[in-house]
């Protein structure tokens, strides 16, 4: 079905960057933010950083020797490194521009202060540029939960849930969040993380029946560099990946962290290709094994991705659910199911890169 209402996607389409120079990638991401009406602060910072790189300034020096393959969003790594300094209380002058730290100064005046911050904290920022982006966005749980409900209605079997590239494992706790859909309360109604009518339209299943059917009997994830939701420095790192002027997302992350810190999902420090064979082998008779990944494909080297796909295609009966960018259209994301895992993807829903809005009108049942 064609999509007349593009989702407000703020992503940079960075996987399309090929060998584009850094300034072009920074500016393209800033343009996408303008297009989607998001993060005025990051528009300023990305554009000014692009100019600085072309001048051979501090930002150019910062990125010297730092790998930036397509899809690795160096622009987000830079702004996350600055946000981390802000959130950890090290740079109060810059914090004055960050709503996430109570700041309210105009974004248009932020760059000279950001540049001074870069000069002063050069080594610390450079060290953080080597880290991959690890945004663990609980808004994506509202997307993935709807996919699980769809699968629960279809398969009616207990689910073993596995995630490749789980970051801190927040989306593996998908059923511990609350989702109100019209008069229905789904998930955990007592959860501090609440989604109100996240799907418009909702999945075309009997939501009450699907919720009653949904039983996650085992859950586990892997990540090359997992973050611990109970560790203060990892919490700061996770917060640093949220855009500082999107306070609703910060609230959402804090709520999810409060749940995960008490009872985290296990996330193994492994590459997906190494972890998957063992994780799949642990499945028990009668279970439906669902392996999902969200916004991780672009960060994985091609050989590793092929190995992940090969591991998924091996065992029978595994279902794959993915929430990944629609790069050809440079707009939004698709929730897709591969059932069984090696089958062609069937698009279920369209959504934003951080979850909402989520629309199931892209789905048409097999004819």
Cα dihedral across residues 328, 329, 331, 337: positive or negative: negative
Does the protein bind ligand SAM through residue 222 (CB under 6 A)?
Answer: yes
Q: How far is CA 320 from CA 153, 189, 195, 257, in A?
A: 16, 27, 24, 26
Would you say 163 or 245 has its CB closer to ligand SAM? Answer: 163
Q: Does 243 bind ligand SAM (CB under 6 A)?
A: no
**Which of 90, 132, 346, 362 is the binder for ligand SAM (CB under 6 A)?**
132
The answer to whether the CB of 159 falls within 8 A of the CB of 178 is: no
Shortest distance (Å) from residue 364 CB to ligand SAM: 26
Stretch that binds ligand SAM, among 76-84, 113-121, 149-157, 163-171 (CB under 6 A): 163-171
Q: Is 165 in the site for ligand SAM (CB under 6 A)?
A: yes
Q: How far is the CB of 105 from ligand SAM (least distance, A)?
A: 29
From 50-58, 101-109, 221-229, 252-260, span contacting ligand SAM (CB under 6 A): 221-229
Separation between Cα atoms, residue 75 and residue 52, nearest integer Å: 13
Using an 8 Å Cβ cutoff, are 360 and 349 in contact? yes
> Tokens standing for 151?
């699968």
CA dihedral 113, 117, 118, 123 (to 10 degrees): 180
Query: Rounded to 10 degrees, what is the CA torsion of 347, 353, 358, 364?
Result: -10
- Least Å from the CB of residue 313 to ligand SAM: 17
- The minimum distance between CB 300 and ligand SAM, in angstroms, equals 4
250 is a contact residue toward ligand SAM (CB under 6 A) = no
Residues 189-218 that bind ligand SAM (CB under 6 A): none
Looking only at residues 252 through 271 of this chain, which bind ligand SAM when binding is defined by CB under 6 A? 271
Min CB(297)–ligand SAM separation in Å: 9
Instruction: Tell me: does residue 228 bind ligand SAM (CB under 6 A).
Output: no
Instruction: Judge if the upstream peptide bond of residue 203 is cis by omega within 30 degrees of 0.
Output: no
- Sequence-ordered alpha helix ranges (H) in 58-138: 58-63, 74-87, 92-95, 110-120, 122-129
Residue from 25, 28, 121, 140 in contact with ligand SAM (CB under 6 A): 140
Q: How far is CA 16 from the centre of its chain?
A: 18
d(CA 140, CA 6): 17
**Which residues contact ligand SAM (rule: CB under 6 A)?**
132-137, 140, 164-167, 171, 222-225, 271-272, 294-296, 299-300, 304
């Amino acid at each position: 079905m064609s999509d007349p209402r593009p989702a407000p996607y703020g992503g940079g389409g960075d996987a399309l960057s090929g060998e584009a120079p850094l300034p072009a990638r920074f500016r393209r991401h800033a343009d996408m933010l303008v297009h989607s009406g998001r993060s005025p602060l990051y528009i300023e910072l990305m554009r000014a950083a692009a100019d600085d790189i072309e001048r051979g300034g501090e930002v150019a020096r910062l990125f010297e020797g730092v790998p930036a393959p397509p899809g690795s969003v160096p622009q987000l790594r830079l702004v996350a490194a600055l946000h981390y300094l802000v959130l950890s209380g090290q740079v109060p002058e810059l914090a004055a521009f960050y709503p996430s730290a109570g700041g309210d100064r105009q974004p248009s005046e932020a760059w000279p202060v950001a540049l001074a911050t870069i000069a002063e904290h050069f080594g610390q920022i450079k060290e953080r540029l080597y880290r991959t982006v690890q945004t663990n966005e609980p808004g994506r749980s509202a997307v993935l939960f709807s996919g699980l409900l769809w699968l629960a209605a279809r398969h009616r079997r207990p689910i073993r849930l596995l995630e490749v590239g789980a970051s801190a494992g927040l989306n593996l706790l998908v059923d511990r969040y609350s989702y109100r859909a019209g008069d229905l309360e789904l998930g955990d109604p007592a959860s501090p993380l609440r989604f109100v009518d996240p799907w418009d339209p909702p999945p075309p299943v009997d939501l009450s029946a699907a919720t009653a059917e949904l039983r996650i009997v085992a859950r586990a994830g892997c990540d090359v560099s997992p973050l611990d939701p109970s560790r203060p420095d990892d919490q700061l790192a996770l917060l640093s990946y949220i855009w500082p002027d999107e306070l609703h997302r910060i609230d959402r992350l804090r709520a999810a962290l409060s749940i995960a810190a008490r009872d985290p999902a296990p996330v193994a420090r492994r590459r997906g290709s190494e972890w998957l064979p063992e994780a799949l082998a642990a499945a028990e008779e009668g279970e439906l094994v669902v392996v999902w990944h969200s916004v991780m494909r672009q960060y994985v080297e091609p050989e590793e991705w092929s190995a992940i796909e090969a591991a998924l295609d091996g065992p029978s009966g595994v279902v794959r659910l993915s929430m990944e960018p629609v790069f050809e259209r440079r707009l939004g994301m698709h929730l897709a199911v591969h059932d069984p895992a090696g089958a062609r993807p069937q698009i279920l829903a369209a959504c934003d890169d951080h979850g909402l809005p989520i629309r199931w009108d892209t789905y048409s049942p097999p004819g």
